[in-house]
A = this chain, B = another copy of it.
Amino acid sequence: MHSLKMYRATGGICKLQRVFGAAQCRTKVLSVENMNPHVKKMEYAVRGPIVIRAGEIEEELRQGVKKPFTEVIRANIGDCHAVGQEPITFLRQVVAICTDPDRLLNDPNYPSDAKERAQRILNSCSGQSIGSYSDSSGVRVIREDIARYITERDGHPADPVDIFLSTGASDSIKTIMKLLMTAKDGKDRAGIMIPIPQYPLYTATIAEYNAYPIGYYLDESNTWACNIPELKRAIKEARSECKPRAIVIINPGNPTGQVLSRQNIEEVIKFAKEENLFLMADEVYQHNVYAEGSAFHSFKKVLMEMGPEYNTMELASFMSTSKGYMGECGFRGGYCEVINLDPAVKVMQLKSISAKLCSSVSGQAVMDVVVNPPRPGEPSYDLFIKEKDFVLGQLKKKAEMVTKTFNSIDGISCNVVQGAMYAFPNIKLPQKAIQAAQAAGMKPDAFYCFQLLEEAGICVVPGSGFGQVEGTFHFRTTILPPLDKLTGMMEKFKVFHENFINKYK
């Protein structure tokens, strides 16, 4: 129970510092007292104390320690292959051929369209090798393929010059946010509007860059929509604390699973225009839309169709290979399309990524398959569609099942999981549980989630790691485990929750 103990001593890490500080740190150049204070402030709940504890429990299970369960179900992170999702055959074929072309370009077991794709990527690599650096913004043909994908998706032209590849989406989100910093303190800090709840990369990056997070609450009573009066309240209150510069929108939502309506997107764009904000659209879940009546509308498309007053606004849109139907997290592929950027700022943006040299070229190759999949008539088309539809079909079933199950439990309500890979149910905790949590020095939702882990072996992330309205409690669970395992998990969850409520009622 090491990490639990650490966690309980709120600011447990500070305690650790004090313990080690006196004896071991005296001679150190770098101590917690004199290290970068912004790094100290960072939090990243998706890999926080509860996940560390899950790893310890797995180790205990391996060592034969008896538990009320035989394995930990990791529903804390959107890591598809880790919970058994199979890779897309065509995608892996293309990347394998790029990796060992001498052998596999001539291998009769590999389909011709995979070979053509690989050869085309290699032709665009220096020395025809994915072992050479690409341009800092990425391999040229891959950027062209991305531009074509966006053009087909939106019905509006995209320019490869506006696109750069990155190490997952996280890396390009940080690149854009870095440009927006003022490098000043206090009231002159850059303010970045972020949804609450949010994906914790945003608060972590804002802390690292010493910016100011302007949290706007998503409307839980209206399927987590962006509520414009709430946006106005948030920015108004923040003006005395910072210089607001950008607004982040996550659509489909993480951790909330909503898909914004076109009208809501228009309202957000109008708000950003009025407030002179740079738009940052996190659209990594654009392939993950399940609910009847929901559809993905890119910010780019909506903005373009809102006419001349809006179509010159600065917008960065982020995409990843880690989500969608492919779930290729480990390859760290991602891209950003940034439009209407001041040309002189673009020069600076390119310079700023050049010192990183380039993102993984194999990750770039994965992205190429995502934006340039097999077309009808090509040999790999049927299998590709079958595999893609299977993954998305299963996710749709799981989204429905999870929503339904949560809402069938007394004291839990959960918005429809319209998209993305998560549910973010609202849990009513008994007063006695809240008191017990406080006595243990823990946040009530973390207290609940730690017990869920210890008693049922289910690892989810407390809502406090994403942010939530004061006095409400949530957790984020992925919907990724295979349907039968997820069904079993929900049954175990139900039992746990009833026991928990009875224990503290």
Give the distance in Å from the alpha carbon of A28 to the alpha carbon of B360 in the complex.
32
Are A87 and B344 neighbours in the complex by a CB distance under 8 Å?
A: no
In the complex with contacts A170-B355, A201-B355, A132-B81 CB distance below 8 A: yes
In the complex with contacts A170-B356, A362-B330, A30-B133 CB distance below 8 A: no
- Residues 73-92 of A, flagged 1 when their CB comes within 8 A of B and 0 if not, give 00001011111110100001
Determine the residue in chain B with the shortest Cβ distance to A87. B131
Are A354 and B93 neighbours in the complex by a CB distance under 8 Å?
A: no
Question: Shortest CB–CB separation between residue A127 and chain B, in angstroms?
Answer: 4
Give the distance in Å from the alpha carbon of A182 to the alpha carbon of B278 in the complex.
29
Are A204 and B355 neighbours in the complex by a CB distance under 8 Å?
A: yes
Contacting A103 at CB < 8 Å: which of B79, B109, B326, B362? Answer: B109
Give the distance in Å from the alpha carbon of A134 to the alpha carbon of B278 in the complex.
33
Identify which of A38-46, A284-292, A416-424, A469-477 touches chain B: A38-46
Are B344 and A16 neighbours in the complex by a CB distance under 8 Å?
A: yes
Contacting A35 at CB < 8 Å: which of B85, B99, B180? Answer: B180
A167: chain B residues at CB < 8 Å are 167, 332, 356, 359-360
| A residues contacting the other copy or chain, number (CB 8 A) | 105
Give the distance in Å from the alpha carbon of A339 to the alpha carbon of B219 in the complex.
48
A354: chain B residues at CB < 8 Å are 44, 46-47
Are B31 and A81 neighbours in the complex by a CB distance under 8 Å?
A: no
Interface check A341, CB cutoff 8 A:
yes
Give chain A interface residues in 317-370, CB to chain B under 8 Å: 322, 326-332, 340-345, 347-348, 351-352, 354-363
User: A residues bordering B, Cβ < 8 Å?
Assistant: 13, 16-17, 20-21, 24-25, 27-32, 34-40, 42-44, 46-47, 77, 79-85, 87, 92-93, 95-96, 99-100, 103-104, 107, 109, 125-127, 129-134, 136, 167-168, 170-171, 178-183, 200-201, 204-205, 208, 210, 245-246, 276-278, 312, 314, 322, 326-332, 340-345, 347-348, 351-352, 354-363
